[in-house]
Structure 1
Amino acid sequence: ITLDENVENIRASVAHIVAQGREALFDAEHFFDGYKANPEYALTCLHAAYEAGARWIVLCDTNGGALPSEVGKITEAVIAFGIPGTHVGIHTHNDTEMAVATTLAAVDAGARQIQGTLNGLGERCGNANLTALIPTLLLKEPYASSYETGVTLEALEGMTRISRMLDEILNRVPLKQSAYVGSSAFAHKAGLHASAILKNPTTYEHIDPGLVGNRRVIPMSNQAGQSNLRRRLAEAGIEVPDKDPALARILDRIKAREAEGYSYDTAQASFELLARDELGMLPEFFEVKRYRVTVERRKNKYNKMISHSEAVVVVKVDGDKKLSVSESMDELGNDRGPVNALSKALAKDLGRYQDLIDDMRLVDFKVRITQGGTEAVTRVIIDSEDGQGRRWATVGVSANIIDASFEALLDAVRWKLVRDAAWA
């Protein structure tokens, strides 16, 4: 069709929607690329929709390649052409990792509707991420004092939980480096950074993490000092007096364990259990007597080769031995692997503690070989989550990957019991 026919189609379509008593929104797909190719015609299309009664004229960076300076200038041109900013929206994609920046550039230029998605979910590299945009609009100037978003500061405290809830629904591992809501967004390496954070959090934190429902993390390693150690213990609800000899013992154990291949920078729960053990504050909820894992490769009834994992775990709880057997099959009959089978068997019957771990699930599993050759040592980091939305990481080290995995699984269960059991 001709350019003029296209403009008439836009006008007639919007007019039809408005005649039905509906609120019309004109999404101008490929607008910024179209504007750069033919500014006059791109603006004519927008104006046709606006004159026909569209409530919103949404400028779309469909290819995700526009830069913030371009988006700002072009949005200003749209408003100068006669479409008020109160009717202009912005819809950006993240192909240059600038979707949030280009969105804010449009807002600065006068746009008043933002289109985005939770966690930046979207085609290719995603869309403008609302978990970054909403906190920025509510907490950063000049936006915080200039605009009304309809989102309260109380509601903002649920941002991290909501972000992780979506990832859970999608069965995705949350991105630790996500702004505001990532588990590493407020993590500080022990040493100078951690020391500065203790004195003045604003030295390395641009906001209070609690404002978005996140929390500060100071990883523990053999570089940690006693002041940082006491602070980390206090966050875990463990008060240790200054200069207590146990502090030095804990640091010595961390140093020795890290020499064996352990890493507590990303395994906060295992660190807490180590410290509690040294302080005599770690009860023995149960004892593992033995475990066995088998993996079989065989043909199914359709003559297709499949794997089948099974785990047996024997634990002793309150003097009683309990044997649990679990397969690692999902609802479609696919094998989920030996570690999954071990996890299910371990959490199958812990006697009077069972109710406390029923809402646990394994959400991430990372393996690293810390030494090369035939003497290689395997380090396993497991991330777990419970029904309250709490996430914790544990570590296991062994020359045997299954043994390292089981150690990390044991720590995950013990940490959960320590936090939830009324054992004191």
Structure 2
Amino acid sequence: MAEAQGDRYDAVVIGAGAAGLACAADLDTAGLRVRLLESEDTVGGRIRTDRVAGFTTDRGFQVFNTGYPQVKRRLDLRALRLRPFTPGVLVHTDAGRLRLGDPTRRPRDGVGLLTGGRVGPRDLLALGVLSARDLLAPASRVRARSDVTTRTALADAGFSEEFVETFFRPFLSGVFLEDSLETSARFFHLVWRSMLRGTLCLPRDGIGAVPAQLAAGLPPGALRTSSPVSGLTPGGVLLDDAELRARAVVVATGTGAAARLLPGLRPSPGRTVTTLYHAAERSPLPEPTLLVDARRRFLNSCVLTEVQPGFSADGRALVSTSVLGAPGPAEEAAVVSALAEAYGTDTGTWEPVHRVTVRGALPAMPPPLPLTRTTRLAPGRYVCGDHRATGSLQGALASGARAAREVLADLGATREP
């Protein structure tokens, strides 16, 4: 649909990922005339779902955390038909599998750790104290703590180096998309808190159902897909077929695209992840549990069809495995070999279904990390996204909400006649 020459909006939002969707929704709710532009054929940005050879595959391994405040505020969780992961992880070690669960939800997991002798009392005590502090303390207090690396914070909390290397480092590598625990401890504590307060799930139709639901709440005609923006003009934005005039322009793209549209904006370094999808005749792990590797040959792996059986159209198991970077054929073969060891099965018969590399999947978040930053760049120019807050769905939605607040404050919260 071509734009009518002379159309003028209160705000144009560029990018229909989580941040852009939240920003557009809040501006619309406030009564402003908004146009949301997306270069791709559907919404979601990095939160996308593809259908490949009868399988439902997300763009990179995804989990949906019900503990995020923005998620609770904006989404109808029942409509997503969520099914949970096991509250905990399995760690593949040279001595066998170690199950680490949330004893407040699965008491037998905590008993197993005590009686199995796999984790010492020092680390169990430190884990209990850390979890209780993060679970019970107000979020404002967690955010106000001094910031160091996660590795330093774990050492200060009393964990042994062995436990950090066996559990925290392999598990958090998949959360932060870096394997040195150099990420901000402030962010770690907020993520840990949200995991304790919420449930990690997957929607029935894949993670793409989340942005689809957000988009469905926009007024008819507000969203335009397949509409790349070639640049900004003094009075708005430039498309292939028209110039859209707007009092405010919000760039809600990834950091690279934002820097191209906004000269002078410094792009944030990002993390790259590749997810491999394989089909197996039988499930190699008959439970919806995340598996990580103490040797960190892969970030994490899980049988997605144990979480959502509908992800497979023919009854075969769908296994998702993520690794840092963009591995070549030899590295990928080594990952499949590591999976055979970790799952205790022959992976030679597994069929490769899909492979997706997501560059800039998360922003790098070393300390000191500002948990939120202003979205104002210049008069009438704003930028939002997880790279302006924290690398999470919560961060993206919160940044979009902040952009909307700042636009409304600057425009006087009034719609132009």
State the TM-score bracket (shorter-chain normalisation).
Answer: under 0.3
Max radius of gyration: which structure? Answer: 1
Question: Which one scores higher on RCO, CA 8 angstroms, separation ≥ 6?
Answer: 2
Structure (1/2) with the larger strand percentage: 2
TM-score by length of 2: 0.19
Structure (1/2) with the larger helix percentage: 1
